[in-house]
Chains A and B, each alone.
Chain A
Amino acid sequence: MELALLERLNAERAARRATILVTEIGSGRQRLVTPAEAPSDPLAERLAEGFRTGRSALVDLGNERVFLTVQVPSPRLVITGAVHISQALVPMATGAGFDVTIVDPRTAFATPERFPGVDLRAEWPEVVLPELALDPFTAVAALTHDPKIDDGMLAEALARGCFYVGALGSRRTHATRVERLAGLGVSREDLARIHAPIGLDIGAVSPAEIAVSILAEVIGVLRRRPAAREQAA
């Protein structure tokens, strides 16, 4: 592979853009295909399948074999709330391969001392959402308990088709949240997508245990449902 091609592949991934590297096994010839270019490519159907599933694959064309290195954006976890649960969740999610961002306008919570080395935005969601550019490869966990912070993020996450949307709080808290968001114009269908109470029911008590239950739920949705990738393709 030419270094320039490898660098383009890396740049596309860093920009969270899907791309497929096509390698002709026999000749060693390679090309990079974007979702926009795929429909006019000779391998259009197989490329579409690659973008949809996110899976790399060897394709036998009869007279030659080509390998598709499929690259879709790495999963990202955006959390509102620089809280105790987040402190436990960040290293776990990072280790599982997620890019993590924390949003919390409360500067007493959102400090580098509490979250060393983390992409931390001490801003209101409304301010940072344009640059965060939530997408179908993003999971959102709302953990502040504060509607002023969580609601805007949840509405945006649902509108942008985030593959997972979860919110901390009891069933009663969630019922009032649903009514508030419905009042903002969020559809009932979208509201039904919110995982609440957040996390798998494993009887979690401590912040670290709750973090495990949240991350397990996020991974379950990521791996079992192709929906996120289909929307992005």
Chain B
Amino acid sequence: MFAREEDVLEAAAGWRREGRGVALATVVETWGSAPRPVGSHLAVDEEGNFLGSVSGGCVEGAVVTEAAEVIADGQARMLEFGVADATAWEVGLSCGGRISVYVEKVA
């Protein structure tokens, strides 16, 4: 199903109410031709199920992996993706843009 931003936040709350570990990723900054606008959300559960997108598919895998860590230790993290930040992350954005993604646990 095609998910809207509000569906993502509803899903995050619903999953948490069911007792699942949940993290919420939010695009907080973009530079250049980033594929998703600031404020876009990705909800991730402890098993790696996710809804929404932060990049149109380029870096979701890395965000989901990092979300598992956030769910485990409860510490929010700021992730940076993009051509200029290849040292920090193996993945990049094919569009040449850069994005910062804030990942927090839904407690």
Chain A 1-26 near chain B by CB (<8 Å), digits 1 or 0: 11100110110010000000001010
9-residue interface stretch from B11-19, B58-66, B79-87, B89-97:
B11-19
Interface residues on A, range: 20 to 34
CB distance from A30 to the nearest CB of B (A): 9
User: Which residues of chain A from 1 to 60 have a CB within 8 Å of any chain B CB?
Assistant: 1-3, 6-7, 9-10, 13, 23, 25, 28, 55-58
Determine if A10 and B16 form an interchain contact, defined as CB atoms under 8 angstroms apart.
no
Give the residues in chain B near A70, CB-CB below 8 Å: 39
Determine if A1 and B38 form an interchain contact, defined as CB atoms under 8 angstroms apart.
no
Determine if B28 and A28 form an interchain contact, defined as CB atoms under 8 angstroms apart.
no
CB distance from B106 to the nearest CB of A (A): 5
Determine if B9 and A23 form an interchain contact, defined as CB atoms under 8 angstroms apart.
no
List 14 A-B residue pairs with CB atoms under 8 Å apart, sorted by A's residue number.
A1-B24, A2-B107, A3-B13, A3-B107, A9-B9, A23-B104, A55-B37, A56-B28, A56-B39, A58-B28, A58-B38, A67-B102, A69-B39, A74-B6
Main secondary structure of the interface of A (DSSP, over half): mixed
CB distance from B44 to the nearest CB of A (A): 13
Q: A25-B78, A74-B6 are in contact. Are A7 and B13 (CB under 8 A)?
A: yes
**Roughly how many angstroms separate A70 CA and B16 CA in the complex, as a whole number?**
22
Chain B 1-36 near chain A by CB (<8 Å), digits 1 or 0: 010101001101100110000001010110000000
Q: Which 6 A-B pairs have the closest CB atoms?
A: A56-B39, A67-B28, A58-B28, A3-B16, A6-B13, A28-B76
Main secondary structure of the interface of B (DSSP, over half): mixed
Determine if B29 and A1 form an interchain contact, defined as CB atoms under 8 angstroms apart.
no
**Residues of chain A having any CB pair with chain B under 8 Å:** 1-3, 6-7, 9-10, 13, 23, 25, 28, 55-58, 67, 69-70, 74, 95, 97
**Roughly how many angstroms separate A9 CA and B38 CA in the complex, as a whole number?**
18
**Residues of chain B having any CB pair with chain A under 8 Å:** 2, 4, 6, 9-10, 12-13, 16-17, 24, 26, 28-29, 37-39, 76, 78, 100, 102, 104-107
Determine if B26 and A10 form an interchain contact, defined as CB atoms under 8 angstroms apart.
no
Determine if B6 and A13 form an interchain contact, defined as CB atoms under 8 angstroms apart.
yes
Give the residues in chain A near B102, CB-CB below 8 Å: 23, 25, 67
Determine if A57 and B106 form an interchain contact, defined as CB atoms under 8 angstroms apart.
no
Determine if B13 and A58 form an interchain contact, defined as CB atoms under 8 angstroms apart.
no
Give the residues in chain B near A7, CB-CB below 8 Å: 13
**Roughly how many angstroms separate A70 CA and B26 CA in the complex, as a whole number?**
12
Q: A10-B13, A23-B102, A55-B38 are in contact. Are A1 and B6 (CB under 8 A)?
A: no
CB distance from B5 to the nearest CB of A (A): 8
CB distance from B24 to the nearest CB of A (A): 6
